[in-house]
Structure 1
């Protein structure tokens, strides 16, 4: 056992002495030592209940003959960090989480590990870590929040309420009352936002048990699943099934296919390449386009439509969606999963099927024949940019607009809420990329304000930053290369015309090449003062969004 590096033999008597001091018995040290990484904190609604999940996991480990050893992980709530300097810390926290799990599981050589995340950067950070460590591992999330206001509301509606107050269609008191009921339980926010996207994709990849993505946080079934995860990691240890046995090129294909069918967050175009890179696998942005063009979009969960995660669970969950994709042979069924069985065997054992075709459309009657995400290219985005096309109004799928350019999120939101943006404008927010932000802030406040003020079907927003999974509308992000790296998006000027054609996968500044070259000669990227030592290091090391915003290797 790997843990014998720490507990076995004469030379490790001092180590055993320290473990005795921690309260472990000799019998516990003789069993496999299983790390339990728990991201519980009292700040994030998706994490406040994770101690319950952790206790269930540890129970499962003990039932199966192991010794659980719990340790913590940090976590940023993107909703609470939104629209202030705290959001600069969110994406960088992914790397810190991955590094810290690697540190803990290497310094204390566990035989296997169970990771308990729930929210946006915590899930991919832990996935990156277990692929890096490549010891038997299971991911078990805390589960999604229930929807509010009799299954008609979630956090995004509250963000959009700010724009409604500014537009005079809602009072401040009404918004405050709404805020108290829109998020009624613990759990990751109720729609197909980034946290739930990554929890569903963890299940789709095979690194989490069936049900991981969709069983609500408040359900007893979530606790039972956590116990099963603890028992299952012991079976994986016995059978020597490791994460890189599960994550293969076929798994990459399955993950992106499910991403497109579910209509997941655009942040998956950052996180999937980052985690697969830890397994030595390449996932290019163009692969998202290739798979999107042949994968129908079967779900429209909030923000794209009226349904929530609890609805998807009741309609058959992730296995149900997979059962539809299988009808067109769109999934690789022979891939291994944490159950110790192949994906195909899992679907057969579960008798996977869709039980509500209003929530999960049949494969022959999809919302669209293309997937939820599109990658666009053009003279301002030669390395690409992304949009959640399943959440774009039909009239905005192909549009031409007038650029209004801002060099920070704060400038952009001030103009939007100040009534300076009108129908036909294209809001361009630059210097918010991985290096330029630094930290690549999410633009949920600007996009929500646009929607709340009734401009969602006539105003586009472009940025080298990124968007919340809860963003709806013609919100095009991750423009690469970013402005701070000298990308041509930095050459956009107020009054320029921008052409957006999502079906054709193109985005272009309507300026001739000679004019662009002249602008380039006279252009110096904006350089922001970075006060945080951590963010200075991050800005120096981080790569382009087109490469997943990972560190240079």
Structure 2
């Protein structure tokens, strides 16, 4: 079990500015606009992961101002901060991708530092994409002051020739172009129409997966996960957070009261039911670590076996996240699961009420909707995220099988030490049906930063090889990746996992039914290869160097403070 942490003193910290002994502090605060009356108000930190170069986050600055006004109206004193963000969609397929996962922990540290260093009494964070959302939750758990997360909302789908398209359509179009199935002009048309405005990527990709999981955890207001970015309902989410966070402060409800084992079980249930991203394994493990909740990779297999996949959402289904909103939304799915015994109703949430109390007033799924299938006639009878183990992944690996018909793949390895060389081989038609394409030394330490392989997986799907070629890596995949892809192989190559000793031509076995990931190489041969192989040194410079030396295994959530467990 996780170690117990002492409860933190929750007396209103901003009152340190009240009284003559704190005159220097008050002098500085007066310069920011505070008056004598304001010194008696709770100090509420508002942290927005705003950035101009990504549709996921470009609208969050305005939402920060809405939150600030709502806190003022509710009787608090708002203090706005910013934090960095890295958009996976912008960084994908470039050296910038190495900074994506590390940004999660940088965001978490900056959230904790900002509110801790300025003695904030409560916290609202506003995030819009893959890493600033779990980063916010990790920071909240570590700070453990009353806190609410607000999702910036999903993007509306792009439209082309009467069909919904999105960012993943662009990656797959490149593969279709390479295969001769699409012209360069058609690719450009998809590119120009895929992202019509603000919001997180529109399918059941990582941003929408984490927004859903955070609502299931009880850390966002009901409906926050599913209101699209450009709606009045989303703006109202932000406005409601001001009053709600002061209510939490008044009732002394903190993340440690909400982020319980049962809350994480609710999140696992919803992720399986909706067919969420493989990245949810990393992020839920990391949030649980910060919250001192005992959660392991094996828990994902436990819930995979008992929770049906009921959402027909992209990347493997037909619909986008906005369609789910129109069908009733994430709250309606939670209500449906709760009514059928899948959700713990007694978990406390940021409303100050239990999950069951929240769901009692939520409308049910709309009659005739087609996004969510009945539990007795699901998309598949169990969840789509499966943890594989074997001599190629003794700590575990993650495969997402939604939409994948193949249950067993056995073939020769074609091994690459970076994604660029693997992409070149695929585009040159050097990877053929039946192959097992392996990209290694791209794990948390080896990348460093565990980059995603969406470019590679998207090209394979576009070329029609999404299931005929298996793709394995100690790196990650985008929530938009689909096909026969296995990621998060641990131990990673940089940690001398057996993937480091895989050779071209070795037979690799992937079996969904037995949950097996093995290489047909004898122990004797492996010992010879280990003796003859030199693992490259860790990266040593700057942020990525720090990350490479601190980060834990992906099987532990790739957290950067795992050393706490070993004191």
Q: TM-score range by the shorter chain?
A: over 0.9
| Residue 75 of structure 2, aligned match among 56, 61, 65 | 65
| Residue 229 of structure 1, aligned match among 241, 244, 248 | 241
| Residue 358 of structure 1, aligned match among 366, 370, 393 | 370
| Residue 146 of structure 2, aligned match among 132, 136, 141 | 136
Are 1:29 and 2:39 counterparts? Answer: yes
Q: How does 1:228-247 map to 2 (within 5 A)?
A: 228-247=240-259
Are 1:156 and 2:165 counterparts? Answer: no
- Contact 2:336–2:364, Cα closer than 8 Å, also in 1: no
Q: How does 1:76-115 map to 2 (within 5 A)?
A: 76-115=86-125
Q: How does 1:164-179 map to 2 (within 5 A)?
A: 164-179=176-191
Q: In the aligned structure 1, how far is the partner of 2:512 from the partner of 2:222?
A: 34
Are 1:544 and 2:557 counterparts? Answer: no
Structure 1: which 5+ runs fail to align? none
- State the secondary structure of the residue aligned to 1:350: coil
Q: In the aligned structure 2, how far is the partner of 1:493 from the partner of 1:244?
A: 47
Shift of 1:65: 1.1
Q: In the aligned structure 1, how far is the partner of 2:394 from the partner of 2:483?
A: 23
- Contact 2:279–2:476, Cα closer than 8 Å, also in 1: yes
**Match of 1:506?**
516
**Match of 1:202?**
214
Shift of 1:531: 6.4
Shift of 1:513: 3.0
Q: In the aligned structure 2, how far is the partner of 1:164 from the partner of 1:353?
A: 37
TM-score scaled by length of structure 1: 0.97
Q: In the aligned structure 2, how far is the partner of 1:31 from the partner of 1:524?
A: 60
Q: In the aligned structure 1, how far is the partner of 2:322 from the partner of 2:41?
A: 38
Go from structure 1 to structure 2 and tell me whether the alpha carbon gap of 1:97 and 1:278 turns closer, same or farther (over 3 Å shift). Answer: same
Cα RMSD, aligned residues only: 1.4
Shift of 1:63: 2.1
- Contact 1:431–1:526, Cα closer than 8 Å, also in 2: no
Go from structure 1 to structure 2 and tell me whether the alpha carbon gap of 1:322 and 1:356 turns closer, same or farther (over 3 Å shift). Answer: farther
| Residue 249 of structure 1, aligned match among 235, 240, 261 | 261
| Residue 527 of structure 2, aligned match among 507, 512, 517 | 517
- State the secondary structure of the residue aligned to 1:384: strand
- Contact 1:443–1:467, Cα closer than 8 Å, also in 2: yes
Q: In the aligned structure 1, how far is the partner of 2:34 from the partner of 2:179?
A: 61
Are 1:437 and 2:423 counterparts? Answer: no
Q: In the aligned structure 2, how far is the partner of 1:547 from the partner of 1:94?
A: 15
Q: How does 1:302-451 map to 2 (within 5 A)?
A: 302-391=314-403, 393-394=404-405, 396-451=406-461
Are 1:288 and 2:288 counterparts? Answer: no
Structure 2: which 5+ runs fail to align? 1-10
Shift of 1:59: 2.3
Q: In the aligned structure 1, how far is the partner of 2:45 from the partner of 2:511?
A: 48
Q: In the aligned structure 2, how far is the partner of 1:264 from the partner of 1:354?
A: 22
| Residue 500 of structure 2, aligned match among 490, 493, 496 | 490
Are 1:16 and 2:26 counterparts? Answer: yes
- Contact 2:165–2:190, Cα closer than 8 Å, also in 1: no
- Contact 1:461–1:474, Cα closer than 8 Å, also in 2: yes
- Contact 1:300–1:390, Cα closer than 8 Å, also in 2: no
Alignment size in residue pairs: 550
- Contact 1:135–1:243, Cα closer than 8 Å, also in 2: yes
TM-score scaled by length of structure 2: 0.95
**Match of 2:542?**
533
- Contact 2:172–2:459, Cα closer than 8 Å, also in 1: yes
Q: In the aligned structure 1, how far is the partner of 2:541 from the partner of 2:534?
A: 23
**Match of 1:50?**
60
Are 1:193 and 2:240 counterparts? Answer: no
